[in-house]
Structure 1
Amino acid sequence: MTKDQFAALHRADHPLVLFNVWDAGSAKAVADAGATAIATGSLSLAGAQGFDDGEAMPFDALLRAVRQIVAAVDLPVTVDFETGYAQCLEDLSTNAAALREAGALGCNFEDQVLGGQELRDAAEQAERIAIVAGAGLFVNARTDMFLAPLMAGENPNRAELVTGAIKRGAVYKDAGASSFFIPGLSDIDMIAQICAGVDLPVNVMRLPGMPSNAELGAIGVARISYGPAPWREAMGALGEAARELYR
């Protein structure tokens, strides 16, 4: 599948639903269930390999897992690239090319500064997006404008954050992003504002209390991710089954 064909899957009238996977086996299970694309989640994939989230997993291990996933399914694969496993632009370019060579068609690429809640300057992040897109990847430009406060126990559903996200979405589009990811935002009206205000397919992450996927599509959402929830549920079921066995 080409980038253009993958882009065509991002439709508000029939949103692309990504039930995020963590290895080749989970990717095959999701593909066999009827998925049209496969997406990894950084926390899930790292956790399945015994690492913490936040690029604690070595990049070579990530590439190895990506190759295994790509070989296991006949679907486009998009990978959570976090901040690119690189600080300098030269290393970022090298890593993006390696990810594409491993078989990934797309990637999530986030604007937070690794290890904190601070966001990169929008112009700096745009330069980084251009490099990743230049490697041939469909860039799902993620802003952590909402997820950072959510993880800090604050309310992410704030009007000033929506305004800031719309501005970033425009900058990221001009840099070569193909879609715009806003994890952490759950207010339906605010999501609709971003869908109307950003000239890119908008990706949300499912959170408790959010409306159905069809309702999200009705307000303009073109891509819906499940994040770490599938892995957490699977590991929870595994742990519970083991506890029953060893009681």
Structure 2
Amino acid sequence: MTTFADLHRPGAPLLLPNVWDVASAQAMVRAGFRALGTTSLGVAAAAGRPDGDNLTAADTVALVRRLRGLGCLVTADIERGSVETAVAVAEAGAVGVNVEDAMGDPGEHADLVRRIKRAAPDLFVNARTDTHWLRAGTAAEAIERVRRYADAGADGVFVPGLADAADIRAIAQAVEVPLNVLYLPGKSTLAELATLGVARVSLGSLPFRAALQAAVDTAVAVRDGAPTGDRLPTYRDVNG
């Protein structure tokens, strides 16, 4: 049986679409994706809340529970998170969590990783550092942090915002656990990231933001008498 951890292969990375509701998850499953992540921005925005403020734990747990019947593996973005939230999403059916340090104290984040692994040992803990997300960080700083998280028991490490090829390769080689990066349009292709040793590529909020723009573009096209998209799912596809 292939586990979620098995899907993290340097050189053949897992492409992880991020979803925000059952409909988006169903669409990704129909497209052939069998592992999905939740997007904290999508979940928060759909609920009318800001992202990044740890306000959507209950929404995320509820979403994971609703996705149980889709036959896909789900990992939950629990933002800065807590042991309680990690255990709750595991009980709801998640196989993993993404938990971020928000550039806080790395010792405290390592301790959180350690406590989550004790409470939910089967959960794939992806420890995120925001060295390159909240500001222009250095590879050395990211390496110091992700090594601490890996030593604390993290199953994978995540450095969103990382774009430089040399930095990506250096960080991938610096830790024994899989490296996850965020796909950045126009920066690197999936194939290029594979050659750098990346084991997982997340789409983050990109599908959610693309869906919002597509909805607006459709309304504007109808208003202006322009053609609408010709590759849309049918009513029956969605309702089925």
Correspondence 1:151-166 to 2 at 5 A: 156=136, 161-166=138-143
2:195 pairs with one of 210, 215, 218: 218
Match for residue 9 of structure 1?
7
1:231 pairs with one of 208, 217, 235: 208
1:79 pairs with one of 76, 81, 88: 76
Cα shift at 1:58: 3.9
Cα shift at 1:56: 5.7
- 1:65 partner amino acid: L
Cα shift at 1:75: 1.4
- Listed as ranges, the gaps of 5+ residues in structure 2 are 225-240
Cα deviation per residue 1:66-106 (whole Å; 9 max; x = unaligned)? 211223x211100101011xxxxxxx332221111111110
- Matches of 1:56 and 1:191 in 2, distance apart? 28
Match for residue 23 of structure 1?
21
1:33 equivalenced with 2:31 (yes/no): yes
Match for residue 236 of structure 2?
none
Cα shift at 1:130: 1.1
Match for residue 140 of structure 1?
126
Aligned residues with identical type, % of pairs: 42
**Closer, same or farther: CA 21–58 of 1 in aligned 2, 3 Å:** closer
Q: Give RMSD over aligned pairs.
A: 1.6
Taking structure 1 as the reference length, what is the TM-score of the superposition? 0.85
Structure 2 contact 18–202 (Cα < 8 Å) conserved? yes
- 1:185 partner amino acid: L
- Listed as ranges, the gaps of 5+ residues in structure 1 are 85-91, 113-118, 150-155
Cα deviation per residue 1:181-217 (whole Å; 9 max; x = unaligned)? 0001101111111011122100010113222111111
Number of positions where the alignment pairs a residue of Structure 1 with one of Structure 2: 222
- Matches of 2:107 and 2:54 in 1, distance apart? 26
Correspondence 1:136-215 to 2 at 5 A: 136=121, 137-149=123-135, 156=136, 161-215=138-192
Cα shift at 1:245: 3.1
1:131 equivalenced with 2:115 (yes/no): yes
**Closer, same or farther: CA 17–58 of 1 in aligned 2, 3 Å:** closer
**Closer, same or farther: CA 228–63 of 1 in aligned 2, 3 Å:** same
- Matches of 2:49 and 2:25 in 1, distance apart? 19
- Matches of 2:54 and 2:112 in 1, distance apart? 21
- Matches of 1:245 and 1:132 in 2, distance apart? 49
- Matches of 2:87 and 2:54 in 1, distance apart? 20
Taking structure 2 as the reference length, what is the TM-score of the superposition? 0.87
- 1:133 partner amino acid: K
Cα deviation per residue 1:44-74 (whole Å; 9 max; x = unaligned)? 1221232221246442222111211223x21
- 1:104 partner amino acid: A
1:96 pairs with one of 86, 100, 113: 86
- 1:74 partner amino acid: G
Cα shift at 1:164: 1.2
